[in-house]
Structures are given as C-alpha cells and as structure tokens.
Structure 1
Amino acid sequence: MASPFALSLPQPLRHFFNLFPLYTHPVIDSPDKARPVTSPTLWISPPFSPDADVLSSDVECLKWQAYLALRGLSDVAVRWDVAVDGALDNRLPNLHVPLKTLPGASPDVKQQDDGEGELLPAHLIPEWVDGQVGGSDALEGYASEAARDESRAWVSLLEGNVHAALVLHQPTSTSFLSLLSPYQNKPRPLEAVVSHPPAPLFGISSLLPLYGTHVNVDAIEQQYKEAISSLSERLGTDKWFLGSSSPTALDALVFAYLHCILHSKEHTLRFEVTRRVNLVAWERRVQSQVRGAFRPVEVVRQP
C-alpha cells in the first residue's frame, strides 16, 4: 500500500524523466592500489632518464632532493607519476610523510595513523627534516656569521643569473596537445628573473604601456659565465662551499644547478662548467651521495 504522504509526479513530467533514465554500473577495480605510507615519499618532476635514474630533471625538485640527502636522510622514496596539477598549489615537489613523523605529533595521532599520511608543500620540508635529524645551529651549518651572510649573496646569484641562463636555453614543448592542456608545468618566466631597465620619466614613450619582453641574450650569457667562474674560484679545493665542515643548504642549491647544467643539451651552458675541473669533480661526488638516498616508489598491483 502506498504511503499517503508519497508524492506522485504528473504524467507529462514522469514521461520527461523517462527520457533520461539513470543507469548504474558495477565498480571497476583498479590494478593500482595505494600502499600505506610507512616512509617519506617525495613527489618530483621526472628525471632525465626515468628508467635508470631517481634524480629529477627540474632544478627546484632536485634542490629539495639534495637538501634531504645532505641533511642525512636516506631510504626516501620518490615518485614522478603525479602531474603538477595534482600537487599542492600546483607546484612540485611535495613530501608525503607518515603522520607519526610529523613534528609535535601527539600519541593519539600516532595511534590513529591510518596509513594515508600527510602531504607537505616544499616550504614545510625544512621543519619536518629538523624534527627527524634535529635543528641546525644559529649559523645554519656555516663556519661563521660572515659565511652565512655570504651564502645569501650566492643564493641570489644562482637563482638570478644562473637560473636566467638555464631558462633561456630550456627546451619547450610545442605540440598541439600541450598548447590545449590547461595544466602545464611552466618554469619561472625569464622576465621574472632578469632585471629590467628603469622606465623613462618623460617623453611620449612614458605614456604608452609596455608591450612584450625584450631580453638581452648576450648580457644573460655573459653574467652566467662570470657567475660560474666566481663559483669555481670560491669553491677552490674545499669539500663544501664557503669552507663549511658539513653540507649546507647552499651546497644543495649549487648541486641542483650544476647537475641540470651538465645534463643540458645546450653546449654553451655545459662548456662553462666542464672546463672547470673542481666543479665537475664536486658535482660527481655530491651526486653519488644524493642518488644513494633515494629509491623509486613501488606500485602495488593486484595479481
């Protein structure tokens, strides 16, 4: 017997709904199953040779790989099957860690760890690392306060002049599908790195808005050559930059740029580094240490 409170649809409306029937389908099981997060996993951009390497081809991702390795972490899994639009803030890398390893995690949180873990953006990685291996001193690992202050200038030089040259010669995808894709892992634009001339204070050109970007390629390449030369002279025969007794964040940044430059297809970039023996030998030594700290993530498949 129908409920007296049941509503019946008018015949015309019922006929209209019948034109759009609702179908249900059985669940489709995926062969890929998420494995519980039991160790830190770094999400990175793909390596130069995905089948034979674990070091990212992106200088930003590689910088954080080197940071983790040089801080003493090991057995860190890496995966590069996550597109940039699947990362936090659409930026790689991200670090996926178990809940029990979070700094200040309460006993209740550790007991309730369901294996899903916590995904951290890049700027929270240092805090997590400090919770695993202990925080650094006030000098951040540098030999003196002057060396710590000098490191800021080297960071500015690397992320300015050297990065501009790397972006200038970085190949871009021109396929039709890449142009239509709304999600593209675009590097930092060149105009955001190089310095611009001051705007005119008078004249008709000051009344017209600027259009396009003028990049002085010769100036960028000359600044790049001077930066690499200064980097080689400053390293000398030291084990770590600025005479530090142990690796610092600057060493991680320098390694990331040297590694990407040595794997660049542009001869001009590679030549400035390969002609300086101390930089090549230093990069190879650090590369061995960084590569040994990572392993590719294993994908669990159903039999």
Structure 2
Amino acid sequence: MPPKGQPAESSHARSFFTVPAPIKQLFDRFPLVTYPANDLPQRASPRHGNQLFVFTDAPGARRGRPSFNPQCLKWQAYLKFVGIDFEVVSSNNHASPTGALPFLLPGLPTEALLPIPSHKLQKWAIEQVHCEEEQQLNLRFEVYGSLLDHRIRNAWLQMLYLDHENFEAVARPSYVNPATTNSLVRAALGLQLQQAARDELLKTARCIDVADLEGDAGGAFEALSTLLGEDEHFFGRPNPGLFDASVFAYTHLVLDEEMGWKQNRLAQLLREHPNLVQHRDRLLKFF
C-alpha cells in the first residue's frame, strides 16, 4: 500500500517494490515512524550496566561516539551531561519495545526488564542523580524548543533525505545499507525514507520550498544564539542540561565533517553564530 496521500502505483510497480514479509521489518528504521511495541532484544540482560539503544554503527557503539540520529544524540548527550554511565548499543526502531529509538535498559537487577522510552528518560535520570528538572527552571523552554522541533528539524529532513547528494553520501550508508545487502530492498527502503520525509514536511506546507526551510532554520539559529548570549550553557545554567543536549544534537551533526555532507547550507548558517559553534565544541568534550 502506498504511503498516505501518495497516488496508487501500477500493478507492475507495486509488484516490483513489494517486500517479502520476513524482511519488511527493514522499513522500520526511519526515525519519523512509531510502531507497536516489540519484544526486547535477546541480547539485553539486567546483569549489564545501563544500556542505551541508539542509531549508530558497531565501531561508534564500541567507542561511545555520538549517534548520527538527532533524537538519539539528544538523550545520549543528556545522560552524559547529568553523569549517568551507560553502554551504547547499536539498534534500530524494529528492535525497540516502543517502536522508536532511543530507549534504555537500566542496569540495576530487577524482576523483569523494564525498558525506558525516550519520553521517560528525563524523569528516570532525575530519580537517579537528583538533578534539576529543567522545564521548571524557565517557561521559555518549550517556546525555544519548538525552534528545534520544527524549523531546524524540517531543514534537517530536507538536507538529509531530499537532497540527492546528501542522501547518497549520508542517509543511505547510515539507514539503508546496514539494513540489507539486497539491492531491490535497498532501493525500496530508500524510496520509503524519502517519501516519509516529504510527507512530514508537507504536513505544514503546501509545497517543499528549500529556500524557505533554510531561511526558517537561519532564523532559529539566530534566536538560539541570542538566547545563549555569552553564557556557556542555555538559561544560565552552571552545567549543561536537556536544552543544551537538544541544541547539540543538531549543531554537532551539522558541523561534524565525518558525516560526509556534500551540500551543507545549515553549517554555513550555523557558523554565522560563533557562540553556538563554541557551545557545540565545549559539549563535544563529553564524548
């Protein structure tokens, strides 16, 4: 069945891109989609320390390097900022009990493994280390958070999935190639990812205008730069918190040369604000 809002294809096209049921799970890797709960990964064990399941490759997991996925990196960074030790585990959405990454398996022995999804990670972290709940510190948290969740995220989706050169150089090796060696499945999965990105962007606009998306992202970076000012961390905090992690999740990946970007207008816009670049560089020392 074609994605919602997409015209029905011919029977020949449908048969060509139909994926056998045993490998349909490969299409669950796209971060925008949430799926029903699944069983826990078989390798998970309460005898281990805390395990954070994120999008990353095997070498990145072994070294605890930043995830290449902003949502995963946000929580990976936050847990580091508040001093919680954990092991990074390479995973995908299909392996998640909630159908989305990241999620955490606590290391403390329990009668049953209770995975912690991302929307409960801050509450869990606060209970572990008794850190401040950042949203209560400043009512502007949600207002500025929307800049990340909408303007910057939308420009990120376009740059990663809809720019052909970036998709081939960054998205395909990150999300498509690790999933399968089957060329037909790879082709179908790539189309699925790009269509999902289009559908997401068209939720708030009649058409996808790259200049508008980049302009919105540039305005968001300017607002974040003004908010940070000369402080080391957002909202004048003595230590980095959840909002710092949220910003870092995008600024690091946009500036990270190891991502292999071919077209990177977001990096140009970000570098217009040295305090945001310096903020990213300071936080990178946690990794």
Question: 1: CA distance between counterparts of 2:203 and 2:186?
Answer: 29
2:184 maps to what in 1?
A: 176
Deviation at 1:186, TM superposition (A): 7.9
- Of residues 223, 227, 245, the one that matches 2:216 is 223
- Of residues 83, 88, 111, the one that matches 2:92 is 83
Q: Which has the higher contact order (CA 8 A, sep 6+)?
A: 1
Q: How does 1:1-303 map to 2 (within 5 A)?
A: 37-46=47-56, 50=60, 54-73=65-84, 75-80=85-90, 82-100=91-109, 113=111, 117-134=113-130, 136=132, 140=135, 142=137, 148-170=138-160, 171=167, 172-173=171-172, 176-180=184-188, 189-193=197-201, 196=204, 214-263=207-256, 265=261, 266-289=263-286, 291=287
1:10 maps to what in 2?
A: none
Q: Which has the higher helix share?
A: 2
Question: 2: CA distance between counterparts of 1:66 and 1:141?
Answer: 20
Deviation at 1:158, TM superposition (A): 0.9
1:104 maps to what in 2?
A: none
TM-score, structure 2 length as denominator? 0.67
In 1, are the aligned partners of 2:64 and 2:88 still within 8 Å (CA)?
A: no
How many residue pairs are counted as aligned between the two chains? 222
In 1, are the aligned partners of 2:64 and 2:87 still within 8 Å (CA)?
A: no
Question: 1: CA distance between counterparts of 2:70 and 2:195?
Answer: 10
- Aligned-residue CA RMSD (Å): 3.1
Larger radius of gyration: 1
Q: Percent identity?
A: 24
Deviation at 1:270, TM superposition (A): 1.1
Give the unaligned 5+ runs of structure 2: 1-41, 161-166, 177-182
Give the unaligned 5+ runs of structure 1: 1-31, 101-109, 143-147, 198-212, 292-303
Question: 2: CA distance between counterparts of 1:274 and 1:177?
Answer: 38
Question: 2: CA distance between counterparts of 1:77 and 1:42?
Answer: 6
Question: 2: CA distance between counterparts of 1:72 and 1:260?
Answer: 22
